Amino acid sequence: MKIFFISDIHGSHYYLKKALDCFKKEEADHIVILGDALYHGPRNSLPKEYNPKEVANLLNEYKDKIIAVRGNCDSEVDQMIINYPMLGDYSIILNNNRKMFLTHGHIYNEDNLPNLSKGDILIHGHTHIPVAEKLDSIYLINPGSISLPKENNPNSYGILEGELFQIKDLEGIVIKSIELD
């Protein structure tokens, strides 16, 4: 199974289209959205081609492939136009005998870890900064932001295939990777 991870779309129709082109090229099975899908929030500038309604329409085309969690810029009113569940603060997927704890990052993160066991993975967005590292016995992964990257990072997404997690820019170039042992 191949899983495609994106975070922090922030209503950018332009960058969502680019990310979905990457999803198709990667031939991934599922899309995980780690929050902040539709709105830019008060701390962010408007992203390129800001159009939350069109972002919702485009994401709805993939509703059967999406697993999503709520970000700090997502709200109940968003669920009225999104055709997949997205209001949980976290979701848990079991993959290759390990727990993947999916969250946005504003509640659970490396400074406030959820209950995880050795070898489990915390995957979150929120910071807009790509991360792929191991902290003690837990893996920490952040695919960065597809629309508003920070700290001079490129627009990016994540791919998990087998035991390899890669973070790539929108050209498909690997910028970080980690082997899950």
Q: Over the stretch 155-179, which tens digit does the pLDDT of each residue have? A: 999 999 999 999 999 999 999 999 9
What is 2-179's CATH topology?
A: Purple Acid Phosphatase; chain A, domain 2 (3.60.21)
Q: How far apart are CA 159 and CA 86, in angstroms?
A: 20
The domains of the chain are located at 2-179
Q: How far apart are CA 174 and CA 27, in angstroms?
A: 16
Q: Over the stretch 111-149, which tens digit does the pLDDT of each residue have? A: 999 999 999 999 999 999 999 999 999 999 999 999 999
Q: Is the pLDDT of residue 41 over 80?
A: no
- Number of other residues whose CB lies within 10 A of the CB of residue 25: 9
> Are 66 and 20 a contacting pair, CB within 8 Å?
no
